[in-house]
Amino acid sequence: MKIFLSSFFFAALLISCTHSEIKDAGSFKPVSVKLEYGPVDKLISSELRVENIPQYIAVLKVKNSPEEKNLKKVSDYIFRNMESKIKNDFAQAYRLWVFSRKLNYNNSEIKKDFISITKKLSDASLKNGHIKESLNTLLVLKSLEPEKKEIGEKLHGVIRWLQDIDRVRMNNCLKKGRNLKQCIVTLTGDNILREAIYTEVSTDAISLYRGYLKYVHDTDINEKLISRKLRGGNVLKSYLVDRLTGLLLMGDNPRKQFQEMLKSTKELNEINGYLAGILMRLTATEDNIEAINQLSVYLTERLGVNISKNSCRLYNKGYEVLKKICNIKFSLSDTTSSIVARNQLVDIINNDNLSLSAWKSLYDISYKRFSLFAEREYISEALKEAKYIKFLSKRAGLIWKDNTAFSTALLRAMLSTIHLLRGDVKSARSELISSFEMNKSPGVLSQLFQLEFWEKNYKQAARYMEMFSTLDVNKGYSLYLLMKAARKNSIVNEKLGDFEKARRIRTAAAMYFKDLYKNISDKTMRSRILIDTGELYFDLGNPEIAVQLFQHALYIDGSCSNYREIIKALITWKKSGMAIDMFNAFSGKSKCSDKSKLYVALSILPSAVRDGKKKYEYASVLEYLEKYEGKNWLMLLSGLVRGKVTCKEVLGKADNLGKKTEGEFYCGLYAWSTGDEKQAFSRFQSTLENKIYNYIEHEMAFWFLRYKSISKTAAPK
């Protein structure tokens, strides 16, 4: 399993496309270029997998897709899995249904199957009180079978329930003088109905949402709302004005209706001066692109993308390209639309080479696809995307020679992770060096240090550490990465014979993190600092403080990644009892993937047995492994740590270097649990020799081997 990829890997997701169309930004040449469409994935149909369904649908949505013949096969697979999970794993069944909505239902047989499974899911939703799921399935059924009265009756019942419960909440809040903002947050129906406004059912959903707001707040939702007296005063008015703006945006003539709102400009300024300013700029001229962008951002934050995406309708004639790019931007969050969206961007660019927004959006979506494939270790698909990104960079460079938006520095850093998955250290190093030469990024320098550390090139690793002080950009981030590398940097100095410096590095990092913690407010960053500091205290021989820091980190931010990182540290320091307790909390978090939970369980079970825990103490971990259903390889690893499958069988099925690395590591853990320490550490050494440096198994094997040999030192005061 790969370690959480570097901040670099996800930086691609931060490249944003805006509405601004700048044709003269930077240095550009009046040349004509012609782009090709990007690569279209082939379905990996030999082993259909639930987690790949968005990609299957993305391929099938492409016009004249070569995989169109597989539409029935994929839909049958989705429907079959959905039906099997309705009773025992409803959340997963609903997730599959959400994806299945995006299939092409021109095929009457598939449409019939979809309606049938939607009815079953809808009935299960109603039976078990899943309101959001009930509403969405009934809205879809109503759009497909509008003549069925019983569907409308069921839908009316769900809406009435939402209206009644939220009306009671609001009345109680107003009568008892509670904090109105806090009361509004508790309104169940508002979020559910806004999320239900998607294209296929928007007309019905908008009507229901307007009716809900009127019933709950006892007032008509129209332009006169602004000057009307409400029991909730301006707090309630501000909440309703946001919703009114969203509803008008989805109406027939939003600009004209915004002008009606502005007849009460004085009152609107008192309620929400920022929104009033946006609407005034928007209605003053028909080509205020900045105002459209501001309204889009504002409504996305307040009401969500299902409503804010309608801001694309505000572009008038003469701005067709911007309108298309706007619509594509909102589809970028939808994995199943990525190929279609990219093809549309290519068409826009081929018609207008100087559409900078289209170029940036095309770059963005291609990076996202590369990241997705690399994360899932579909190496050949990731490399195809990388090749296409390089092609885009060269073409863009013909027009905008100096525009850093089209640099391949980020891509090269990301490609290093792909090469490491193959154990190709030479290519990974080459990509990182090229990337660093382009942009002198502290993140890339950190990756170079890590690479040389794992390669035992300690002198070069030390030189990279010294280079952090010479970087001119982002010095604060550089210092943070320098301190974050303290554990390995101290080992580098030990290997070079300077044990006193090694201790000073650990102590200085612990003190730095302590000071940094006091001066930041971001909970994610604060929790990460506590974990980093806890790991340093483990190394310094004070696990009690480390555990306290870990517990506080989870109290601040109980994210999936924090749980995984802390459990990993606890296992390496033989704190399996505490790791089990944390797993029990982690396994109940619905937002964390089954795959990540499985890998954690694979490490905990043999570690608990190794540490002499009783069977009842690790029963929950064992039960999770026994019930897990997923990829064949993961099922095999589950059998291995439970003693149901031999190491020989597992390694015989390891058909790539990544699987061999995982196989060796979990064979080592299992051997350790049986008391065969010699074989265990031999397996851990083999894990390191595979050189898959971005696997968490490599990291853990290293610390197991190190902790076996080091002596503990006192913690800093």
pLDDT top residue among 399 and 668: 668
**Which residues neighbour 301 within 8 Å (Cβ) at sequence distance 6 or greater?**
none
Report whether 465 contacts 446 (CB < 8 A): no
Reported confidence tier of residue 5, pLDDT bands at 50, 70, 90: very low
Reported confidence tier of residue 714, pLDDT bands at 50, 70, 90: very low
**Which residues neighbour 29 within 8 Å (Cβ) at sequence distance 6 or greater?**
398, 399, 401
> What is the reported pLDDT for 92?
84
Query: Is the torsion defined by CA of 250, 253, 259, 264 positive or negative?
Result: negative
Please provide residue 2's backbone torsions phi and psi, each rounded to the nearest 5 degrees: -70, 145
Whole-number Å distance between alpha carbons of 338 and 430: 30
Over the stretch 618-675, which tens digit does the pLDDT of each residue have?
A: 999 999 999 887 778 899 999 999 999 999 999 999 988 889 999 999 999 999 999 9
> What is the reported pLDDT for 185?
84
pTM for this prediction: 0.69
Token reading at 611: 């540490």
Q: How many CB atoms lie within 10 A of CB 41?
A: 22
Helices then strands, each counted (H, E), the chain? 37, 0
Closest by Cα among 571, 581, 493, 504 to 540: 504
pLDDT top residue among 561 and 2: 561
pLDDT top residue among 288 and 611: 611
Torsion of CA 428, 429, 431, 437, to 10 degrees: 160
How confident is the prediction for the chain on average, in pLDDT?
Answer: 85
Report whether 420 contacts 454 (CB < 8 A): no
> What is the reported pLDDT for 329?
77
Over the stretch 568-619, which tens digit does the pLDDT of each residue have?
A: 999 988 899 999 999 999 988 877 888 889 999 999 999 999 999 999 999 9
Over the stretch 211-256, which tens digit does the pLDDT of each residue have?
A: 999 999 989 988 888 888 888 788 899 999 999 999 999 988 999 9
> What is the reported pLDDT for 65?
63
> What is the reported pLDDT for 111?
87
Checking if the pLDDT of 509 tops 80, the result is yes
| Residue 630: C-alpha distances to residues 148, 255, 637 (Å) | 39, 51, 11
| Residue 674: C-alpha distances to residues 575, 610, 620, 626 (Å) | 18, 7, 20, 19
**Which residues neighbour 496 within 8 Å (Cβ) at sequence distance 6 or greater?**
458, 459, 462
Whole-number Å distance between alpha carbons of 39 and 381: 8
